Amino acid sequence: MLFRGQDTSLFRMGVGFRCGRTGRFLMRLVLGGLFVFAGTAKIYDPATFAIELERYELLPWKICAAAADYIPWVEFLAGLCLFLKSFERGALLLITLMLSVFTLALASALVRGLNIDCGCFGHTFVSTGTILPILRNLVLLLLAGILWIKYR
């Protein structure tokens, strides 16, 4: 039953969405932390990351090589900037875009029946397949979405 003046907003009604500064910090910690970790793992060995990218059969080798040098640094900096007040939103925008692109690439590999590893964390984890990383990315996108809503 709703009472007069009660806030019916989804984000106020659900306990899961009722997150104050601590909740928001924890979400940034998970998102930013994962991106810093993923970036660092790949910065160490861009050649292997280029091979992982090539296995998606989406891009020619030269673009894979360039992306393997560039993407890990974008991940690392975006993850780090999520903790900086003056770059927080830009970092969240980049993280949301990257997660969307990575999820689409994984889904396309899954649809085409490619038996590949995600390559998301360099060679830190092996044999992750594509389904688990897609699910993980969807959870992370949900976190990013909640953070976006909190900014509005």
Interface residues with another protein (CB under 8 A)?
Answer: 43-51, 54-57, 61-62, 64-66, 68-70, 73-74, 76-78, 81, 86-94, 97, 109, 114-117, 127
Q: Which residue has the tokens 């969405």?
A: 17
Strands (E) across 15-140 are located at: none
CB of 17 to another protein, least distance (A): 21
Q: Give 68 or 140: the residue with its C-beta nearer to another protein.
A: 68
Q: Give 76 or 102: the residue with its C-beta nearer to another protein.
A: 76
Q: Give 118 or 140: the residue with its C-beta nearer to another protein.
A: 118
DSSP assignment string, 10-39? HHHH-GGG---HHHHHHHHHHHHHHHHHHH
CB of 32 to another protein, least distance (A): 12
CB of 126 to another protein, least distance (A): 10
The answer to whether 71 touches 105, Cβ cutoff 8 Å, is: no
Cα separation, 74 vs 131, whole angstroms: 24
